[in-house]
Structure 1
């Protein structure tokens, strides 16, 4: 049955909440949004039981979940992570790599193509995000230092010749060759993002002018105020606040950033410039314990405890174990952000940042039928991806 009617729903559109609303889906698209129950026959009817229906959650920075990492080099890793995250409301994602050998990276590209074609029951893939290897050694965090280096045109041209699926690339713009790298990416419609950077404001401004319009996991792996020869300089964090047009992403798991910083970011940047991300590693949706961050062959051991992943010596976080529902819940309950704006930060805003807002990120006629049904506590009860129900809980 290609026609699905969701009724008795509190629908979150980009601009309002429609109480007791209906959404009609045909052939994977939204064809009607209305107050009351639409008089439609010959359809699969789903009673939303008064729960919220929002656009599907879009995670533009994730390394895996459900026991899988995208660097594992298997189709099953991609499909398994996509299925697991769909259970928590994610309908679209940007699989993210770690600094690794070129051989491992090329293998990842080949596997991604196969996985994208085979992905029928999980969050759809929007393209790849390369996180590294062009990072500041001082701000590397959990990134493997043996792979960190400056960008060289010959190398990144070769990397991109292997794949046309790369849609964003995080790098430290203060490195030698990084500004040329940013321009190169922009010419190919790839989003350059400032990440794992020790830059000061003057370097960030120049980077912004050369295409770096987004900041990877704000506060994590980047400079704040620095003292150089006794003088203070604004870092990447302050620069992101000062440049109004700069978009940012935050790991809103309640661990990486406390309530005070979540409130500060929200107050300064606003929901239109903030994307909520999981930055999740393979332990997302899994029990606590020991895991590998990155590929099983070349990755690093991490410990998952207290709802977060850490390096074994506990000196730094190592990605997160968050799922998308937790991000929304954190913003509403911990940061006290209105629900509609919290949802905007994981739907409309990331869709606009990744330039897929023509088809995703909002509930509107003609858009993809990427929908999530959740209750007041942001517990997900149904996930629909392009008209396919990929997860349905017992409550429905």
Structure 2
């Protein structure tokens, strides 16, 4: 297998940016990181001149519904591959295809399509497993999720779902619902990440959920409770709990629309890059022009409008998923939130890798890890995406 050699780049490590190093990719992994003066090029090596641009670990998106005109709920291999290829062009090397609230039959179909897509995915971001978002959500925090599918978790149903697929690695739900804590414990014991989402829980309920295995919060600030009153008494909500529980990790849609500059900076300051992941939460409109689109499947999805750099419900009462790509997230954190590039990249690479327990092979530039890399300039414009040593995008 041909070696891929990257020279003349500024390599981004978890705590530093270094120049003068050669990066050698061989057999799908990073085989050498050495000083350029010590390296000898072989005749069949493929040399990539980074031209002084940044070389970072590949971006990892742990929450995306689609892109490039495709949604994972379309239920076709073409949709999976099309979305994966779109995101790869923007620096994403690995992602979690994410579902919406739906019928049992739609989920089962998605499971079969996912398996087929994994085996055919050669030109797109690799799939790390499935992320189920719903259908166990609080009605008042449903956001753009279709309310007719919302329900409480019942063992008879979720055990059937789990029996249908071994590819589920994350499940987002509201922990205050009847039976949710028991379900979360089951997920955690099976190595599946239970994540708090679309929830009206108060702090005490979130704390119970954390002890039951809910160690992550889905799209912080979106579709969750904050300070509320019950019988005239104030209670902290999911939002406050995310900050107060030190070991709770969070993800944010850092497109500059879902969260404005002060909130991006607030999350960075108080959760830090080690516990904050960037995610797109993108729907099919990612990488597409403004106009009408569909959230969810083409057949059963909801009509939405793409404008102002985001997808909205037709009545404009709520956002309906982002149209961001991962390069935009990093750019926003650097240019809008004024976060150091090293930390912005960490939130798009090593932190999501650790949250999903794949940091032993992804998320940082280290010898022996997967050769998942992205090259971009000072504007975070991507020139090359390399996945497992293969140049997927760029010359």
Question: TM-score normalised by the shorter chain: which range applies?
Answer: over 0.9
- Identify the residue that residue 149 of structure 1 maps to in structure 2: 151
Q: Distance in 1 between matches of 2:6 and 2:323?
A: 31
Match of 1:183 in 2: 185
Q: Secondary structure at the match of 1:283?
A: coil
CA distance in 1: counterparts of 2:59 and 2:34, whole angstroms: 22
Note the alpha carbon deviations across 1:176-226, whole angstroms, 9 max, x for none: 000000001011100000000000000000000000000000000000111
Matched with 1:76 is 78
Equivalent runs, 1:64-143 vs 2, <5 Å: 64-143=66-145
| Unpaired segments ≥5 residues, structure 2 | none
Deviations 1:355-376 (A, max 9, x none): 0001000000000000000000
Q: Does 1:33 align with 2:29?
A: no
Contact 1:2/1:28 (8 A) holds in 2: no
Q: How far does residue 99 in structure 1 lie from its aligned partner after superposition? A: 0.0
User: Is 1:388–2:369 an aligned residue pair?
Assistant: no
Q: Tell me if the contact between 2:14 and 2:343 (Cα under 8 Å) persists in the aligned partners.
A: no
Following TM superposition, by how much is the alpha carbon of 1:379 offset from its aligned partner in structure 2, in angstroms?
Answer: 0.4
**Aligned partner (choices 172, 193, 196) of residue 195 of structure 2:** 193
Q: Which residue of 1 aligns with 2:370?
A: 368
Contact 2:77 2:116 in 1 (8 A): yes
Q: Of residues 200, 204, 207 in structure 1, which corresponds to 2:206? A: 204
Contact (CA 8 Å) 1:20, 1:50: kept in 2 or not? no
**1:214-247: per-residue Cα shift (whole Å, max 9, x none)?**
0000000000111111111111000000000000
Q: Could you tell me how far apart the structure 2 residues matched to 1:201 and 1:2 are?
A: 54
In the other structure, the counterpart of 2:313 is: 311
Task: Look up the match of 1:5.
Answer: 5
Bigger shift: residues 262-271 or 11-20: 11-20
| Runs (5+) with no aligned partner, structure 1 | none
2:297 matches 1:295: yes
In 2, Cα distance between equivalents of 1:364 and 1:77: 33
User: 1:15 is matched with which residue?
Assistant: 15
Q: Stretches of 4+ moved more than 6 A in 1?
A: none
Q: 1:249 aligns with which of 243, 248, 251?
A: 251
Give, in angstroms, the shift of residue 340 of structure 1: 0.2
How large is the Cα RMSD of the aligned pairs?
0.8
Question: Tell me, what secondary structure is at the counterpart of 2:369?
Answer: coil
Matched, 1:159 2:158: no
Residue equivalent to 1:215 = 217
TM-score, normalised to structure 1's length?
0.98
SS at match of 1:92: strand
Q: Match of 2:332?
A: 330
Question: What is the TM-score of this pair, normalised by structure 2?
Answer: 0.99
Contact (CA 8 Å) 1:18, 1:35: kept in 2 or not?
Answer: no
Match of 1:274 in 2: 276
SS in 1 for 2:320: coil
Q: Distance in 1 between matches of 2:134 and 2:300?
A: 15
Q: Deviations over 1:42-96 (max 9, x none)?
A: 2001100000000000000000000000000100000000000000000000000
